Structure 1
Amino acid sequence: MKLNSDKIERLRQLKQEIMEMEGYLPQKGQQTDSRLQLGPLHEAFPGRVFPLGANHEFISHSPSEAASTQGFLAVILGMLMQNGGFCLWLGTRPQVFPPALKHFGLAPDRVLFVNVPRERDLLWTLEQALSCEALVAVVGEIRELGFSESQRLQLAVERSRVTGFLHRHQPRSLHALACATRWKLTPLPSPVPAGMPGMGWPAWKVSLLKVRNGKPGHWQLQWDGEGFQELFHQQPQEIVQNRKNYA
């Protein structure tokens, strides 16, 4: 019996070490990244740690979902680069209005936008960017991606410790990829306190469809300028009424 328990404990330790190396758990003596104020999302990740040095897949199907995804990514990037650093944002054409990134807490002068006309060239550029240790993060607006191609991208971030965000708008297939997570963002009406003019904070329905060694789930969140908060304080009918008041 003791031999079996020793084997089980050793397997547990090996799994822990592998997850630490892949970025899914903080390594021994390493503190969790306090820059990421993800609120209830932390509960979904193994060890309550957002995987850095890994690739994250985001799926969108409509223009509004694509814009919401880009806003959500801007919030995450703004948190990651609070202490400086640069991000590379890759795509086949311009898809983001840089000055608007300030609304999501991301300084546009910390982002380098590169447009690669052909998607097959974009994949190569994305792999090279993810291999660059000088970057904090890389966003790749790439529609199609095969499993073997995603494996190469994963190997790149494991070596460089750069965090990759792969936004796939209207992909033809949703087969498995070598990514730590798969997300889908849907826009929600911005909740506005009664009697207040203007627009509220950005809000999303956040669907974490897949997370390696974690717990997928769905949340309704808003970003309040510092972190993500759950939308408990207003019911949907109140949000609709507020929108009517300030239309």
Structure 2
Amino acid sequence: MNTTAEKNNIIRDLEREILSLQGLVKRSGTHPLDIGLGSIENAFPNQTFPVAAMHEFISYSREEAAATNGFIGGLLGKLMHHGGACLWIGNKRTIFPAGLKNFGIDPERIIFIDLIKPKDILWTVEEALKCSALAAVVGELTELNFKESRRLQLAVEQSRVTGLLHRYNPLVENTVACVSRWKIQPMVSEAADGMPGVGWPRWNVQLQKIRNGKPGSWQVEWTSEGFSVKSRPLMRFEKFELLQTG
């Protein structure tokens, strides 16, 4: 057998094994979930949004937090499309439940849990992630260390629930076990057909980290049809410059 072919086969087998250990491949008999992120999905391993995984979102202002919640709402609409409820856990509810209808979500399918102490929020998020009857869990917290995040990732690998962590104004952007790190910034919307008023939500979406994938930055708009990607991802040197100056 050709030596080069043997090496390529070994590399592919190792890649599949590593992705499997990290919970980033679909199980037999299942179909990839279409999140509707268009060209952004090329950044993910296997070109598929990682479910049964933890995703980290970071924001530093109220405007960024609102944009992040909107983007999370769009993801939840897809994650909950085939059934299941969602637990949204935090200490200050910053989202208007009725507004979730804009993202295709019936508000009654989301259970809000408001707590005071950060340790209680973290404990509740971990326990919720163990419940396989849920489609997703959203946790609003500030600080998270690697050991804590590892426990959350292990929980979703068993339950197959998708976890979305929104960290508002953390002291440091430390390394955690989440498979991705996102930053969502608001952009000026454009009213359709020159009509007055506010148009569809539009965001600058930065995928700063994706395990076994390719980070990038895109302009994304939410419309009645779902996510609409408006621009290409950044190249490697562009991403580096963005992280250095941002």
Cα distance in 1 for residues equivalent to 2:79 and 2:143: 26
Cα deviation code 1:143-195 (max 9, x no counterpart): 00000110000100011010000000000011111011000000011122343
User: Any gaps of 5 or more consecutive residues in structure 1?
Assistant: 233-247
1:13 is aligned with what amino acid?
D
Would you say the 8 A contact 1:184–1:207 is kept in 2?
yes
Q: List 4+ stretches of structure 1 deviating above 6 A.
A: 1-5
Write out aligned runs for 1:110-189 (5 A): 110-189=109-188
Query: 1:101 — aligned with what?
Result: 100
Query: 2:14 — aligned with what?
Result: 14
Cα deviation for residue 205 of structure 1 reads 0.2
Cα deviation for residue 104 of structure 1 reads 2.4
Cα deviation code 1:23-47 (max 9, x no counterpart): 423345542213x111121111011
Query: 2:64 — aligned with what?
Result: 65
1:179 is aligned with what amino acid?
C
Query: Which entry has the higher C-alpha Rg, 1 or 2?
Result: 1
Would you say the 8 A contact 1:222–1:228 is kept in 2?
yes
Query: 2:234 — aligned with what?
Result: none
Counting aligned pairs with the same residue, the percent is: 49
Cα distance in 1 for residues equivalent to 2:9 and 2:229: 38
Query: 2:206 — aligned with what?
Result: 207
Cα distance in 2 for residues equivalent to 1:7 and 1:197: 60
Cα deviation for residue 106 of structure 1 reads 1.9
Cα deviation for residue 51 of structure 1 reads 0.3
Would you say the 8 A contact 2:74–2:227 is kept in 1?
no
Cα deviation for residue 228 of structure 1 reads 1.6
Would you say the 8 A contact 1:105–1:225 is kept in 2?
no
Would you say the 8 A contact 1:75–1:104 is kept in 2?
yes
Cα distance in 1 for residues equivalent to 2:186 and 2:106: 22
Cα deviation for residue 5 of structure 1 reads 6.3
Cα deviation for residue 78 of structure 1 reads 0.7
User: Any gaps of 5 or more consecutive residues in structure 2?
Assistant: 232-246
Cα deviation for residue 229 of structure 1 reads 1.4
Alignment size in residue pairs? 231
Query: 1:86 — aligned with what?
Result: 85
2:196 is aligned with what amino acid?
P
What is the TM-score when the length of structure 2 is the normalising length? 0.87
2:43 is aligned with what amino acid?
A
